[in-house]
Amino acid sequence: MAVVEGTHTQGGGGLPVDFHVEYEVVGNVVHYTATFGTASANSTHEGQFDFDPSKVDAAAAVDAFMQNHIGKADFDIAP
């Protein structure tokens, strides 16, 4: 499985959230297992999302997907 790791800022408060994502691509679908970590909690989620490989590579799509969830401050309920 491929891996993307990084840190994005959560919501308006600017709380940094670390993430580690293991993923695989089947066609235009990314299947992932993501672990999110903050100073107070860790959570792990599995899910999938569609992307257009002609416009963005899978690693960039995963990073953008995680940034979106963390930015909305809903990483603890990510699909």
Q: Provide the CB-side half-sphere exposure for 32 (13 A, CA).
A: 28
Q: Write the pLDDT tens digit of every residue in 2-54.
A: 999 999 888 767 788 899 999 999 999 999 999 988 656 678 889 999 999 99
Q: Write the pLDDT tens digit of every residue in 52-79.
A: 999 999 999 999 999 988 888 655 554 4
- How many distinct structural domains can be found in the chain? 1
The predicted pLDDT at position 24 comes to: 98
User: Which residues constitute the domain of residue 43?
Assistant: 2-77
User: Would you list the DSSP string of 11-29?
Assistant: TTTTEEEEEEEEEEEETTE
